[in-house]
Chain A
Amino acid sequence: NAGVTQTPKFRVLKTGQSMTLLCAQDMNHEYMYWYRQDPGMGLRLIHYSVGEGTTAKGEVPDGYNVSRLKKQNFLLGLESAAPSQTSVYFCASRNRVSVNQPQHFGDGTRLSIL
């Protein structure tokens, strides 16, 4: 049981470069989320999706774009990376059955922007 898989696990970018983080889940979950975790800040929601083809902004969406072309995949893009985007990025998914469902997390992507 893979659950939620994030790729890559680590990446170092130069300022201005672009990249895409991939999240894949095999639980047939409708909802998917992207968070960033910074020291002392907890997890903050970047973007989320409630189904294939739909996305919505979270608390800190600026500088990021997302796409949900397939139900099992949720992509997070950085068009022009900035040092402030150095962080650990987590993807999560959950069932749509009710709001009282837990989220399932991947192990994160550690991203450094130089």
Chain B
Amino acid sequence: SQQGEEDPQALSIQEGENATMNCSYKTSINNLQWYRQNSGRGLVHLILIRSNEREKHSGRLRVTLDTSKKSSSLLITASRAADTASYFCATGMNRDDKIIFGKGTRLHILP
């Protein structure tokens, strides 16, 4: 069963604009992770935020986590053509060896 649900399912923006995608989940988590998948490739880990953290930055990426609303957002600033990909959130539950992926957001950066 899917734990995380990304929103929107697809997003097209102009190069240079900021892209925001959201993830909602259902149960308590230990951490929330964001992954990127380029067409025809495997997933690449972007950033992990722990349940006791509210915001985290990595380069042009900013992730927020609101455990009271059971939601997270991924912001990509100053988008580039190379950011065109699918983005997935994944949640890790307490003391669990597995993570559960959402269905992803397809991001398309227009030139």
User: Dominant SS at the A interface?
Assistant: strand
Residues of A within 8 A of B2 (CB): 42
Residues of B within 8 A of A106 (CB): 42
Q: Which of A14-22, A69-77, A79-87, A95-103 is found at the contact surface with chain B?
A: A95-103
Residues of B within 8 A of A50 (CB): 97
B95 on the interface (CB 8 Å rule)? yes
Answer whether A100 and B31 are a contact pair too, CB < 8 Å, given A48-B97, A50-B97.
Answer: yes
Cα-based distance from A2 to B40 in the complex (angstroms): 18
A53 on the interface (CB 8 Å rule)? no
Question: From A105, which residue of chain B is reached at the shortest CB distance?
Answer: B42
A45 on the interface (CB 8 Å rule)? yes
Residues of A within 8 A of B95 (CB): 99
Q: Contact: B45 with A99, CB < 8 Å? A: no
Number of A-B contacts (CB under 8 A): 58
Residues of B within 8 A of A90 (CB): 42-43
Q: Contact: A107 with B41, CB < 8 Å? A: yes
Chain A contacts with B in 29-64, Cβ cutoff 8 A = 31, 33, 35, 40-45, 48, 50, 56, 58-59
Question: From B97, which residue of chain A is reached at the shortest CB distance?
Answer: A50
Question: From B46, which residue of chain A is reached at the shortest CB distance?
Answer: A102
A66 on the interface (CB 8 Å rule)? no
Question: From A3, which residue of chain B is reached at the shortest CB distance?
Answer: B42
A4 on the interface (CB 8 Å rule)? yes
Q: Contact: A99 with B101, CB < 8 Å? A: no
B30 on the interface (CB 8 Å rule)? yes
Cα-based distance from A90 to B99 in the complex (angstroms): 14
Interface residues of B (CB under 8 A from A): 1-2, 30-31, 33, 35, 40-45, 48, 50, 88, 92, 94-104
4 shortest A-B CB distances, which residue pairs? A105-B42, A102-B45, A42-B103, A43-B101
